[in-house]
Chains A and B, each alone.
Chain A
Amino acid sequence: MTEQESRQERPGVVRTGAGLLNRNFGRILVFVYGVLALSATGRAVVQIATKFDKAPLQYSLSAFAAIVYILATWALGTSRKAMAVAVVTVEFFAVLVIGATNSRSVDLDRQTVWTDFGHSYGYVPLLLPFVVVWWLWFNRERN
């Protein structure tokens, strides 16, 4: 009996992993968010602990980015859909606004993960919200 047939035999039963944001492709996505959470946190901690007075606004934004990535990792990792939608929406607008206003032409000391739309992270920060939206859509409840 193939997997397909066994699914059809139990129509009321949700197939394993369906709708779970942290399974299959979601597992990779959670890890990517985790890596960004780690880098954003590291950057924010170093900036705030060693030279906060130099650029308070940018370093506060770094801390904000770190919190966003930690929350997104947690929301996706524990399959909290509403939370994931909320956090990723914030992330999307943050990367656009900060990407447009905080350019890498300013010195390295004043950058955040979102500088130039995440240029120094291979534009992954700009790409991720779209990937998450696709993943949420892919995992939407089906009747």
Chain B
Amino acid sequence: MGLTWAIVGALCAIAFVVVLVQMVRDVPASNLVDGLLALIELGLVVQLVVGLVKLGDAPADLSKPTWIGYLVGSLLILPAAWIWSMAERSRSGLGVLLVGLAVVPFLFLRLHQVWVG
């Protein structure tokens, strides 16, 4: 799980910077941004699979519904941000993506906290 978080977290950071630069320059989201978002989403699907497999050797006091809730919930953030930002291809649309990209690594932290209890 640590490896998945490191890779996806790094991708989030890269995407965050790219979106921030486009926001400052007032350029609408590019294919590069879409590609990075798709890659991160793919990483989150991997996270879901790894997270479900890990349930096998979960600590006894792990709240499984919470764990699964975060794994599934994290899949919703970026598609929602993307759709919502498409409706307004402006700086604010990019701002929505920035929020989404900040929320995803925050969820990794949460997942970690849920796991260690």
Contacts and interface: CB of A to CB of B under 8 A. Distances in A.
Interface of A: 23-28, 30-32, 34-35, 38-39, 42, 45-46, 49-50, 108, 122
A26 B99 CA distance: 13
A38 B66 contact: no
B86 to A, nearest CB: 11
User: Which among A26, A27, A50 has the greatest number of chain B C-beta atoms within 10 A?
Assistant: A27
B103 A35 contact: yes
B96 A27 contact: yes
Interface stretch (B12-20, B37-45, B87-95): B87-95
Contact of B99 (A24, A28, A38, A46): A28
A14 B92 CA distance: 21
Interface of B: 63, 65-66, 69-70, 73, 76-77, 80-81, 84-85, 87-88, 90, 92-93, 95-96, 99-100, 103, 106, 117
A3 B76 CA distance: 37
Q: Provide the main secondary structure of the chain B interface.
A: helix
A31 B90 contact: no
Contacts of A25: 92, 95
User: Which among A23, A42, A50, A122 has the greatest number of chain B C-beta atoms within 10 A?
Assistant: A42
